[in-house]
């Protein structure tokens, strides 16, 4: 039997400005899960990409006086650079300006029309350019966009409409029968609330915005950017072209999105799929906001967190650790420099950093730079490990990133305490063979505890995991690890020569 497939996606960010930590946060959580599924032995396809059409991007390029395509090309390069910097292990990258994607969008529009789910009508109402959303007068709050609180544009144009209302009952039924379709539960209730208010048909084309995919059966119309964007999840897999990827990986196991785009993913997207006769994704996983202090990140208000500056100052792995440890999935989470420095100096520099550093020093001093061979009578650590591992795996299966890390850190600190309790430096002074044996067993156990922690840390801090293993001279690429093998106590036999000690997390001065 082949490996069980797992298809995971992120939202595709708008290419109007440089990515900020909020968008990077979404990539990090999807990446943690993708890496976790890989070490569980699943055949993972992890997709991300770029949303490049629509009024907002067209306007930005125009303001900068550059050609729109040249502008998005540049932004995409920068996005790809940041994905790499942040160790995001996506297998695919889809651009909505890819010819293959555009062709799929056109085929889908034709199919929707042939199904009788599209009709032409007049739209008069409001449009929020930053959110790329049509808004009826009744949806405005104090005359502004309910999502971003900005001024909207008044528009009056001919649009194609999609018969969303037709799918209302089917959607309610689907949500009621599939309790995990939208997580966390509060978001599922929000969707049910929206559905119970009643659905109106939605515009799916524009005539006043030509930076988009042309509607194949009506030359005046261009596909509405959101419909274009949602299709990325299947166009990237070659839907409609008998694509191998589509046949292998669809339906998606998890679509990761932020809470502002819930309606698009949990109402409009499934309705489009129902119309097309395509199976629905298994889960929409909805995260909250990364806030700077108490404020939502916002480019226009100048509240942003630059991923390059953060990486320079703290290192990418520390940022990955911080957001997964501090933000409870589904809720908003505050980023503050104080809490980052506290976690950095405490959990990283002190706890794991010291454990590695002290163990390296002892092996150098007491064991001639060679990790002693596997001990036959392993002591206290192994029992703790088995108990913690099962619980930790269950945590990550259920998006409890913080609890997962708490368990691993509990283990790291048990190992730190083990050093204090056993006082290996005293055993090293002794001439007796039993003491020597005891010392060797302790050193092996410490390296094994570090190695196992590193395996569990692979999804969160892949760079650091690899570095730790390299320091102890342990072979292997973290990309090939499997929890069921490398995560077992005693998998490592010891006997490796340690390398030069490198400080993993140099302490940071509080600002
Ligand atoms: O919505 N904290 O793109 P986008 C956490 N192109 N997540 C945040 C965030 C924050 N401060 N700010 C944004 C779009 N996000 C569309 C998606 S998908 C078919 C099309 C999240 O660049 C946001 O919720 O505005 C979304 O999931 C993702 O970043 C991209 O946002």
Distance CA 207, CA 219 (A): 9
- Contact between 20 and 35 under an 8 Å Cβ cutoff? The reply is no
User: Over the chain, what is the mean pLDDT?
Assistant: 95
One DSSP character per residue, 304-345 reads ---HHHHHHHH-HHHHHHHHHHHSPTTS-EEE-HHHHHHHII
State how far the Cα of 439 lies from the Cα of 363, in Å rounded to an integer: 10
Q: Give the fold, CATH level 3, of 337-486.
A: Isoleucyl-tRNA Synthetase; Domain 1 (1.10.730)
Q: Give Cβ neighbours of residue 411 (< 8 Å, ≥ 6 apart).
A: 381, 384, 385, 388, 449, 452, 453
**Is the CB–ligand 1 distance for residue 260 below 6 Å?**
yes
Mean pLDDT on 178-182: 97
The whole-number pLDDT of residue 379 equals: 74
Answer yes or no: pTM beyond 0.95: yes
Residue with tokens 């980023």: 335
3-state class (DSSP) for residue 156: strand
Residue 511 has pLDDT above 70, yes or no: no
Quick check: helix, strand or coil at residue 203? strand
Q: How many A from CA of 332 to the centre of ligand 1?
A: 14
Nearest-atom number in ligand 1 for the CA of 257 is 27
Element (H, E) at 379: none
29: pLDDT strictly greater than 90: yes
Helix (H) or strand (E) holding 394: helix 380-397
**What does the H/E/C string look like for 288-315?**
CCEEECCEECECCCCECCCHHHHHHHHC
C-alpha to C-alpha distance for 241 and 488, rounded to whole angstroms: 43
Q: Whose CA is nearest to atom 18 of ligand 1?
A: 11
The number of the ligand 1 atom at minimal distance from the alpha carbon of 290 is 2
- At 281-308, the pLDDT tens digits run 999 999 999 999 888 887 767 788 999 9
Among the listed residues 33, 18, 14, the one whose alpha carbon sits nearest the alpha carbon of residue 305: 18
The response to whether residue 327 sits with its C-beta less than 6 Å from ligand 1 reads no
Q: Lowest-confidence range among 69-78, 291-300, 469-478?
A: 291-300
HSE (side-chain half, CA atoms, 13 Å) at 115: 19
The answer to whether the CB of 504 falls within 8 A of the CB of 377 is no
Q: Using a 6 Å cutoff on CB, does residue 23 contact ligand 1?
A: yes
Give me the pLDDT at residue 456, please: 97
Return the DSSP state at 507.
-
Looking at residue 2, its pLDDT comes to 62
pLDDT, one tens digit per residue, over 218-244 is: 999 999 999 999 999 999 999 998 789
For atom 7 of ligand 1, the residue with the nearest CA is 22
Judge whether 380 and 418 are in contact, CB under 8 Å.
Answer: yes
Interval between CA 20 and ligand 1 midpoint (Å): 10
CATH number of 5-314, picked from 3.40.50.10680, 3.40.190.10, 1.10.287.370, 3.40.50.620: 3.40.50.620
Q: 412-442 burial, b for 16+ CB within 10 Å, e for fewer?
A: bebbbebbeebebeebeeeeeeeebebbbbb
The residue-averaged pLDDT of 473-487 equals 95
Interval 393-414: pLDDT, tens: 999 999 999 999 999 999 999 9
The partner residues of 95 in beta bridges, in order of sequence, read: 50
Q: Where are the domains of the chain?
A: 5-314, 337-486
pLDDT band at 377 (very low <50, low <70, confident <90, very high): low
Three-state SS at 247: helix
Ligand 1 center from residue 13 Cα (angstroms) = 6
For residue 76, is pLDDT > 70? yes
Q: For ligand 1, pick from 101, 260, 267, 270 the residue to mutate: most ligand atoms within 8 Å of CB.
A: 260
Q: How many residues does the chain have?
A: 511
Per-residue pLDDT at 3: 77
Which residue's CA is minimally distant from atom 19 of ligand 1?
230
Cα 58 to Cα 75: distance, rounded to the nearest angstrom: 13
Cis previous bond, 184, omega within 30: yes
- Residue 89: strand, helix, or coil: coil
Given a cut of 70, is residue 62 above it in pLDDT? yes
CB atoms within 10 A of CB 380: 14
Residue 304: what pLDDT? 84
Please say whether the dihedral angle defined by the alpha carbons of residues 391, 393, 398 and 399, taken in this order, is positive or negative: positive
């Amino acid at each position: 039997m082949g490996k069980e497939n797992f298809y995971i996606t992120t939202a595709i960010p708008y290419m109007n400005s440089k990515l900020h930590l909020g968008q990077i946060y979404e990539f990090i959580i999807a990446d943690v899960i993708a890496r976790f599924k890989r070490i569980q032995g699943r055949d993972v396809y992890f997709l991300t990409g770029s949303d490049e059409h629509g009024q907002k991007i067209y306007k930005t390029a125009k303001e900068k006086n550059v050609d729109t395509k040249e502008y998005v090309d540049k932004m995409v390069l920068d996005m790809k650079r940041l994905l790499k910097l942040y160790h995001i292990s996506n297998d695919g990258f889809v651009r909505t300006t890819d010819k293959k994607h555009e062709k799929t969008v056109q085929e889908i529009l034709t199919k929707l029309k042939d199904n009788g789910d599209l009709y032409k009508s007049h739209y008069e109402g409001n449009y929020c350019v930053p959110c790329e959303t049509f808004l009826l007068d009744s949806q405005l709050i104090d005359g502004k966009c309910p999502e971003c609180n900005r001024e909207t544009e008044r528009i009056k144009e001919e649009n194609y409409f999609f018969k969303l209302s037709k799918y209302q009952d089917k959607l309610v039924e689907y949500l009621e029968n599939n309790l995990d379709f939208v997580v966390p539960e509060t978001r599922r209730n929000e969707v049910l609330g929206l559905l119970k208010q009643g659905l109106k048909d939605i515009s799916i084309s524009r005539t006043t915005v030509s930076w988009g995919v042309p509607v194949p059966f009506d030359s005046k119309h261009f596909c509405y950017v959101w419909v274009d964007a949602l299709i990325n999840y299947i166009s990237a897999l070659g839907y409609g072209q008998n694509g191998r990827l589509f046949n292998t990986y669809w339906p998606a196991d998890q679509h990761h999105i932020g809470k502002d785009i819930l309606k698009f993913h949990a109402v409009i997207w499934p309705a489009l799929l129902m119309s097309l006769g395509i199976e629905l994704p298994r889960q929409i996983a909805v995260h909250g906001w990364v806030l700077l202090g108490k404020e939502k990140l916002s480019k226009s208000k100048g509240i942003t967190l630059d991923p390059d500056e953060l990486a320079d100052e703290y290192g990418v792995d520390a940022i990955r650790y911080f957001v997964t440890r501090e933000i409870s999935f589904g809720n908003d989470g505050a980023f503050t420099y104080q809490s980052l420095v506290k976690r950095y100096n405490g959990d990283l520099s002190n706890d794991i950093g010291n454990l590695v550093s002290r163990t390296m020093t002892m092996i150098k001093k007491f064991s001639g730079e060679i990790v002693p061979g596997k001990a036959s009578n392993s002591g206290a650590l192994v029992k703790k490990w088995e108990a913690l591992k099962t619980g930790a795996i269950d945590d990550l299966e259920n998006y409890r990133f913080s609890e997962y890390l708490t368990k691993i850190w509990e283990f790291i600190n048990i190992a730190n305490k083990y050093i204090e309790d056993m006082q290996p430096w005293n055993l090293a002074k002794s001439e007796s063979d039993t003491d020597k044996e005891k010392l060797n067993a302790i050193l092996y156990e410490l390296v094994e505890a570090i190695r196992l922690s590193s395996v569990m840390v692979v999804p969160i801090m892949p760079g650091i995991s690899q570095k730790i293993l390299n320091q102890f001279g342990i072979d292997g690429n973290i990309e090939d690890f499997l929890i069921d093998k490398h995560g077992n106590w005693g998998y490592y036999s010891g006997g490796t020569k340690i390398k030069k000690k490198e400080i993993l997390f140099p302490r940071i001065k509080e600002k």
